[in-house]
A and B are shown apart, each in its own frame.
Chain A
Amino acid sequence: MNFREFKKCAASGLENARRTLSILTGRDVTINSQSMGFVELGDIPALSGSPEDVVLASYVTFDGDARGQLMILFKPDSAEKLVSVLSPHLTSHVDPKDMSRLLDSTVSEVANIVGSSVLNAIADGAGMTLKPSPPILIREMSGAILESVVATCSRGADRVYVVDIKFSAGEGKALFEIVFLPDICTNSSGFLGYGSVAWTNG
């Protein structure tokens, strides 16, 4: 699979996810911005805005014919907004002390839908099998999450390949964000044109 094919599969997965979320929320969920390409290490912690901003993140790894990591990041106010859209009756009745649990479970569910759409489209498009891990939910500074993830997969490279997509639901403000890190140094001989990628080592 080369970069062009990968981008096509990823775009198809994102469109599936966008359509599903639009149906689920009854709103026009749109893709605000998207970028796919190599990012310098120093720019990674600020990928999702200020590195000190707290996010609620769902983190999944996948292996099989290719390896990589997928994160879906929500700002806390976006997560609350999402819950109020998806479960308007619940939020008006829920005890405030149970709100955090409700946020976590809604975010996990949405992350699951979005993550599966993207991974399935890439797997189908490339004729590969991708096996995702159970998602892990984290509430932490976005920079700390991103740098920790990149530290495990960069293998000393000065740049890593990142797919970064921001979704919104009407008002223009990002509702959530996907950060996808396909591991191009994977054992899969075909994934992302292994062998033909200019991978800079430090």
Chain B
Amino acid sequence: MDQRLIVVRLSEVKWSCREEDILVAYSLGSCVGLVLWDPVRRAGGMAHIFLPTASGSSASSISKGSRPDDRTPGKYADLAVPYLISRLEEIGCRKERLVAKVAGGAHVIAGLSSPIGDVGALNVRLVEEMLRKAGIPIIGRDVGGTYGRTMRFYVNSGRVTISSVSHGEKDL
């Protein structure tokens, strides 16, 4: 079986039920890579999340009823998580069977500050809060730190690997 590599670029969300597919988010810095997988349907998806919320920085400001831009559905954590769940349900996944793996949210440049605070940490917090609200368990987590990560997701097995310059490659 020839494997097919699908790149999930910044602010994108992609999903698949093809056993040969590998989804990859390269060089996550403050961005968060989120993988959701249904082990029964053997299908899943990945979001490359850029910022915490469309309307602000904190969990309390999650925008109600907002819809993600079709070109960049992974841009905001508060919109990307429900978007990915919906797309997976459309291909036969069941929300109650989904499991999550989360990576990224680093603070790569010491001293780099943003008007909304530590973007990486806020991204992680929002993604995890959205997963908790959706009742999806997080079964793998590699977040924070000061280094970039590449996240690969093997759709058929649910395997997720994380590689980085300073920490090599590992299974999540």
Which residues of A come within 8 Å of B, CB atoms?
A: 41-42, 44-45, 50-52, 54, 59, 133, 136, 138-149, 151-156, 158, 202
Contacts and interface: CB of A to CB of B under 8 A. Distances in A.
B50 interface: yes
B3 interface: no
B161 interface: no
- Interface residue SS majority, chain A: mixed
26 contacts: A41-B75, A42-B10, A44-B10, A45-B10, A50-B26, A59-B109, A136-B111, A136-B112, A139-B165, A140-B29, A140-B165, A141-B29, A141-B148, A144-B106, A145-B108, A146-B29, A147-B50, A148-B29, A148-B107, A149-B109, A151-B29, A151-B30, A151-B31, A151-B114, A152-B30, A158-B72
B139 interface: no
Contact of B54 (A50, A52, A59, A156): A156
A147 B109 contact: no
B110 interface: yes
B152 to A, nearest CB: 11
A153 to B, nearest CB: 8
Contacts of A59: 109, 112
A42 B29 contact: no
Contacts of A41: 10-11, 50, 72, 75
Closest 6 A-B residue pairs measured CB to CB?
A144-B148, A143-B27, A144-B29, A148-B29, A152-B114, A51-B27
Contacts of B51: 151, 154, 156
Contact of B109 (A138, A141, A154): A138
Contacts of B147: 140, 144
B109 A148 contact: yes
Nearest to B114: A152
Contacts of B115: 152, 155
Given A41-B75, A144-B27, A151 B119 contact: yes
Contacts of A154: 51
Nearest to B163: A52
Interface of B: 9-12, 26-31, 50-51, 54, 69, 71-72, 75, 106-115, 119-120, 147-150, 164-165
Contacts of A136: 109-112
B50 A148 contact: no
Contacts of B111: 133, 136
B148 A152 contact: no
A148 B108 contact: yes
A144 B54 contact: no
Contacts of B109: 59, 136, 138, 145, 148-149
Given A42-B9, A143-B148, A202-B75, A51 B30 contact: no
A148 B119 contact: yes
Contacts of B29: 140-141, 143-148, 151
Given A42-B10, A147-B30, 16 more contacts: A42-B72, A51-B27, A59-B109, A139-B165, A140-B29, A141-B27, A142-B27, A143-B27, A143-B29, A144-B28, A144-B29, A145-B108, A148-B109, A156-B51, A202-B54, A202-B69
Nearest to B164: A141
Contacts of A52: 26-27, 150
B108 A45 contact: no
